[in-house]
Structure 1
Amino acid sequence: MDRKRVNGPDQSVAPLSTNVPERLPILNNDGKRVDQRSLDDLRPIFLKTGLVTQANGSAYIEVGNTKAVCAVYGPRQLKRSGFSSNGTLNCEFKFSTFSCSKRRGHMRDPEERGYSQVVVQALAPAVRLELLPKSSIDIYINVLENDGSTSCLAAAIVAASTALADAGIEMLDQVTACSAVLFQKQIVMDGTESEEQQKDGNMVISYMPSLNQVTHILQNGISDAATISQAVEQCIDGCSKIYSVMSTALLQSLNDNNNDNNMDNKL
Structure 2
Amino acid sequence: MNVQDRRRLLGPPNARLLVFGSRQPETADTQTVKPADEIRPMFLKTGLITNANGSAYLEVDNTIISVSVFGPRPIRGSFIDRASFAVEFKFLPYVSQPMEAIFECHNEASKAAASSNLNGRSSLTGIEHKISSFIETSLLPSILLEKYPKSSIDIFVTVIANDAQTNLLNLANWAVNCSSLALVDSGIECKDVVTSGHVRLTANGNAILDPASNSERKAEGVAEAVVSFMNYHNNEIVGIWTESEGALDETNLSSLIEHSKKMSRQIRAAVNSYMLESVHNDD
Give the alignment's TM-score, normalised by structure 1.
0.77
Which entry has the higher C-alpha Rg, 1 or 2?
2
**Equivalent AA in structure 2 for residue 231 of structure 1:** L
Deviation per CA, 1:85-125, whole angstroms, max 9, x where unpaired?
Answer: 11111100012233327788764212211211111110111
Match of 1:162 in 2: 181
Match of 1:188 in 2: 208
- CA distance in 2: counterparts of 1:68 and 1:173, whole angstroms: 22
- CA distance in 2: counterparts of 1:158 and 1:136, whole angstroms: 21
Match of 2:136 in 1: 120
Match of 2:66 in 1: 69
Please give the secondary structure, in 2, of the residue aligned with 1:246: helix
Match of 2:225 in 1: 203
- CA distance in 1: counterparts of 2:156 and 2:145, whole angstroms: 18
- CA distance in 1: counterparts of 2:41 and 2:64, whole angstroms: 12
Tell me the CA shift for residue 45 of structure 1: 1.5
- Alignment RMSD (CA, Å): 2.4
Tell me the CA shift for residue 66 of structure 1: 1.9
2:91–2:97 CA contact under 8 A, matched in 1: no
1:181–1:202 CA contact under 8 A, matched in 2: yes
Match of 2:118 in 1: none
- Unpaired runs of 5+ in structure 1? 1-27, 259-267
Tell me the CA shift for residue 165 of structure 1: 0.8
- CA distance in 1: counterparts of 2:260 and 2:157, whole angstroms: 22
- CA distance in 2: counterparts of 1:194 and 1:114, whole angstroms: 17
Deviation per CA, 1:59-86, whole angstroms, max 9, x where unpaired?
Answer: 011223222110001100124x111111
Match of 1:108 in 2: 124
Match of 2:242 in 1: 219
Please give the secondary structure, in 2, of the residue aligned with 1:240: helix
Deviation per CA, 1:163-215, whole angstroms, max 9, x where unpaired?
Answer: 11101000111000111223333332111224465344321110111112111
Q: How does 1:78-117 map to 2 (within 5 A)?
A: 78-79=75-76, 81-100=77-96, 107-117=123-133
- CA distance in 1: counterparts of 2:32 and 2:124, whole angstroms: 31
- CA distance in 1: counterparts of 2:243 and 2:75, whole angstroms: 35
Tell me the CA shift for residue 126 of structure 1: 0.6
**Equivalent AA in structure 2 for residue 216 of structure 1:** G
**Equivalent AA in structure 2 for residue 192 of structure 1:** A
Q: Choose 193-202 or 62-71, whichever is displaced more.
A: 193-202
Please give the secondary structure, in 1, of the residue aligned with 2:141: coil
Tell me the CA shift for residue 48 of structure 1: 1.0
Q: Determine if the alignment matches structure 1 residue 176 to structure 2 residue 195.
A: yes
Q: 1:173 to 1:196 in 2, by over 3 A?
A: farther
- CA distance in 2: counterparts of 1:163 and 1:70, whole angstroms: 6
Please give the secondary structure, in 2, of the residue aligned with 1:44: coil
Match of 2:21 in 1: none
